[in-house]
Amino acid sequence: MAKIKAFFFDQDGVIIDTEKDGHRVAFNETFKAFGLDTEWSVDEYHSLLQVGGGKERMRHYHHTKGFNVEINPEEEDEFIKKLHQYKTDAFIKLLESNKLPPRPGIRRIMREINHMGLVLAVTTTSNQRAAQAVATKILPEIHFDFILAGDVVKVKKPNPEIYLMALEKAGLEPGECLVIEDSKNGVAAAYAAGIRVVATTNFYTKKEDLSLADMVVTYLGDPDGEKGTLRSGGEGLKYDGVLTARQLVDYFTS
């Protein structure tokens, strides 16, 4: 079996808990600023998360429930684009406020990956500016070999395009890589690309079907902080609530 040489991390819900108190808040701030009588509740946003990508999410909502404004079909793309630009600015302000810290174990395991000289990348459907803000503002000490985000792909997760692109960018085979994801769509995308997956659950994904993942934990965990719980997979792994990069490399190589 090939040795693991690269880690590909999803961003939202994996690196930071952005969905409920980040993206959702920024979307609602945007709707208010544009005079739209729309506010996405915690539960409604969960269902909307099944649509990959922020612009796609708003377009889906517009087509199924509708905003309280008349939008000509030929003006729809520009309207959605303006909403998304405002929303991205609002979200980045939240990131820069340091109110959305990395999830337990993220900073630790990324440092380990850097120390081991392995490829480290971000593979997200989040906006490119937001992804860069996470890398530079929240994790400035971490070296990322590359960041794939937003509209770099034509089709969002669960389509495997972003992971196929990551494989090409890294110059590696699927068996040499490991994906860290959190959602059903993300896990399905990695699985379709032939890459093994560790899923870390959060508020929105803890009840999703993550059975395609090779291992499911609540957190990657920190020795002196919040530890994770192993939910599935990991047979034979010596697990104490903290998953290290070395453990994962050895586990998925043996």
In angstroms, the CA 19 to CA 16 distance is 9
Contact criterion met (CB below 8 Å) for 220 and 112: no
Calpha distance 212→64 (Å, rounded):
29
Q: Which of 12, 17, 214, 222 is catalytic?
A: 12
- Options 10, 17, 214, 222, the catalytic residue: 10
10 is catalytic: yes
- Rg of the chain over CA atoms, in angstroms? 18
3-state secondary structure the chain: CCCCCEEEECCECCCECCHHHHHHHHHHHHHHHCCCCCCCCHHHHHHHCCCCCHHHHHHHHHHHCCCCCCCCHHHHHHHHHHHHHHHHHHHHHHHHCCCCCECCCHHHHHHHHHHHCCEEEEEECCCHHHHHHHHHHHCCCCCCCEEEEHHHCCCCCCCCHHHHHHHHHHCCCHHHEEEEECCHHHHHHHHHCCCEEEEECCCCCCCCCCCCCCEEECCCCCCCCCCCCEEEECCCCCCCCCCCHHHHHHHHHC
Catalytic residues: 10, 12
